[in-house]
Chains A and B, each alone.
Chain A
Amino acid sequence: MDDALVRAGRALRLVLLTVLAALFLIPFYLLVRNGLATEREITAPGWTFFPHRAHWANVRELFADPDVPMAHALLNSTLIAVATTLGTLLLASLAGYGLARIPCRHANAVFYAVLGTLMVPAAVTFVPSFVLVSSLGWISTLRGLIVPTLFSAFACFVFRQYFLGFPRELEDAAQVDGLGYWRTYWRVVVPNSRPVFAAVGTIVFIGAWNAFLWPLVIGQSRDAWTVQVALSTFTTAQVVNIHELFTAAAVSIVPLLVVFLLLQRYIVAGVERSGIDD
């Protein structure tokens, strides 16, 4: 009796989870369905589950449309996301290692200064940061879109926490071999820390690819549009065909979903490692 109840409960849970999972996948389904449909199929009365024939021509049409600078926006987004990821990894990991391992009188003060910015929502600083970047003359430049975002307190914090737990014996052995901090870091610490670099790197990459407010404020001219700004402009102005818009959105998200699924293990580890609840 009890046993049957437990089994029924388990089955119910599985059914509920399956229904919820299906609901969670609906937006992705809509992206693919509308992205591969013709305008007429999307706006037809009555729901068609999937376009009669997948219209791969939509993708070609999208990149051929001179009014929609999608290829250029994709290029900008790629450059920005790659540069931001590499730059953040380099700067934040060096700083995290220094804070965790190199004794210095100012280490605590610097650490608290980093922690302090973690508590300031980035969005509160967008007006002052805009002021700074505009006085540097960096509006509508890739520099303006990349450089101010390179100093991630979150990444620095994760690296510091990780390096605090790094096995000291490995570093000691390197120092016995006469390596200083610099060479110990590059030859021993970095090669043995690939998972944390992968975790932070993936999170930063996704964040940079999906960022909107900063690129909207800084990337004002068409040449400096990222994918998100381009999509947003066409969504809010509604001057582009619906199917083309959905094709563009699907193109913008597919590479990211692949990265996400492949590196999910690292992302989960990174989220857990951020140690916000310790």
Chain B
Amino acid sequence: MTAVTTATTAARNRRKGNHRKRNHTLWFWIFVGPFAAGLALFTYVPLGWSVYLSFFDAHNTVTPSDFTGLDNYAAMLADPAFRSSLATFALFTAFIVPATYALSLALALAVNRLRFAQAFFRSVFFLPAACSYVVAALVWKLSLFNGVRFGLANTVLGWFGAEPVAWLAGTDPPWYWLVLVTVRLWLQTGFYMVLFLAGLQRIPPRLYEAAALDGARPGWQTFRHITFPALRATSVAVVLLLVIGAFQAFDEFYNLLSDARGYPPYARPPLVYLYYTALGQGQNLGLGSAGAVILALVIAVVTVAQARLTGLGRKEE
């Protein structure tokens, strides 16, 4: 008798449990469903479609019928302009990543140790993050590095008796690199400084106390043996974000270098190249899609290689 009662109670509980579980699942999808559906529709579907289009001859159409196999990929990889866009990305990364890394870390170290006016300096360095690349490029192109005499850089050069420099118009020497790199440096350094500041504040003070007891001198020694190793995780994340950011560079290149005649044949990063290939005259969406797939693979390889090299995800020692 008791046994039967227990069995029915158990069954009832199980039913109730199942019901509750269904209830959970239902609520889970009410909360997560709209977001998940949108993400699927606007990220995964386009990605899949893009892979599909990359195997077709798709001029001005998104429902092509002319299957061309790997032709788009072969054409893309054989195009010197595409390969030179990858070289542009590599060169840009080689400038901007070390420059931003060093400056943002130095600023974080200096601001972190300030006794007063800390909030002021942090705000000043962080403020450019509110500016768009379009506005920054406008200031750089038309005022700061304006190639005529009334540009600020040329005015300052004039004070020292130097001739005005055509910052963006010439390729010999390629001064445009200075303009391109400084825009991004100005705009993003403060953001990474904030990341480093957060990292610095997480370092337990006892590490410094222990180092002082061991006779480490404040300054370079402490930085090398305590601060820098303790910031490892932040450093890895910062470099990764910087590389991905450089890879996505479009806004400042487009706004600084293109004019009424179009974009010059040099300094085309991958996205600028893709923009003109896929959306320019002819709208070669098959070729553009193949380019997008190749770029996705490139960035995946770069990310994985970097994670391997720097040991992303490894626990801090």
Chain A residues near B126 (CB-CB < 8 A): 264, 268
Chain A residues near B27 (CB-CB < 8 A): 98, 102, 180-182
Partner of B38, one of A28, A151, A213: A151
Among the 9-residue stretches A41-49, A52-60, A166-174, the one with 4 or more Cβ atoms under 8 Å from chain B is: A41-49
Q: Is B162 an interface residue (CB 8 A)?
A: no
Chain A residues near B234 (CB-CB < 8 A): 277
Is A150 touching B38 in the complex (CB atoms < 8 A)? yes
Q: Which of B271-299 contact A (CB under 8 A)?
A: 271, 274-275, 278-279, 285, 288-289, 291-292, 295-296, 299
Chain A residues near B113 (CB-CB < 8 A): 13
Q: Which of B224-278 contact A (CB under 8 A)?
A: 233-234, 236-237, 241, 244, 247-248, 250-251, 254-255, 258-260, 271, 274-275, 278
Is A24 touching B35 in the complex (CB atoms < 8 A)? no
Q: Is B36 an interface residue (CB 8 A)?
A: yes
> Known: A17-B111, A212-B251. Contact between A43 and B289, CB under 8 A?
no
Q: Is B1 an interface residue (CB 8 A)?
A: no
Chain A residues near B28 (CB-CB < 8 A): 98, 102-104, 106-107
Q: Is A217 an interface residue (CB 8 A)?
A: yes
Is B144 touching A30 in the complex (CB atoms < 8 A)? yes
Q: Which of B17-32 contact A (CB under 8 A)?
A: 24-25, 27-32
- Size of the B side of the interface (Cβ < 8 Å), in residues, is 96
| Bound Cα distance A257, B124 (Å) | 11
Is A125 touching B62 in the complex (CB atoms < 8 A)? no
| Bound Cα distance A46, B258 (Å) | 28
Nearest CB on A from B251, distance (A):
5
Partner of B31, one of A28, A42, A97, A130: A97
| Bound Cα distance A128, B31 (Å) | 28
Q: Is B73 an interface residue (CB 8 A)?
A: no
Q: Is A27 an interface residue (CB 8 A)?
A: yes
Is B31 touching A257 in the complex (CB atoms < 8 A)? no
What is the size category of the interface that chain A forms with chain B?
Answer: 35 or more
Chain A residues near B47 (CB-CB < 8 A): 120, 125, 128
Is B259 touching A237 in the complex (CB atoms < 8 A)? yes
Nearest CB on B from A117, distance (A):
5
Some 5 contacts from A to B, beta carbons below 8 A apart, are: A95-B32, A129-B43, A135-B63, A213-B250, A257-B130
- Which B residues fall within an 8 A CB radius of A? 24-25, 27-32, 34-36, 38-47, 49-50, 53, 62-63, 107, 110-111, 113-114, 121, 123-144, 148-150, 152, 155, 186, 190-191, 194-195, 198-199, 233-234, 236-237, 241, 244, 247-248, 250-251, 254-255, 258-260, 271, 274-275, 278-279, 285, 288-289, 291-292, 295-296, 299-300, 303
Closest 5 A/B residue pairs (Cβ):
A98-B31, A128-B46, A128-B50, A95-B35, A210-B132
- Which A residues fall within an 8 A CB radius of B? 13-14, 16-17, 20-21, 24-28, 30-31, 34, 42-47, 91-92, 94-95, 97-99, 102-107, 110, 113-114, 117, 119-132, 134-135, 147-148, 150-151, 153, 156, 180-182, 185, 206, 209-210, 212-213, 216-217, 228, 231-232, 235-239, 242, 245-246, 249, 252-253, 256-257, 259-261, 264, 268, 271-272, 276-278
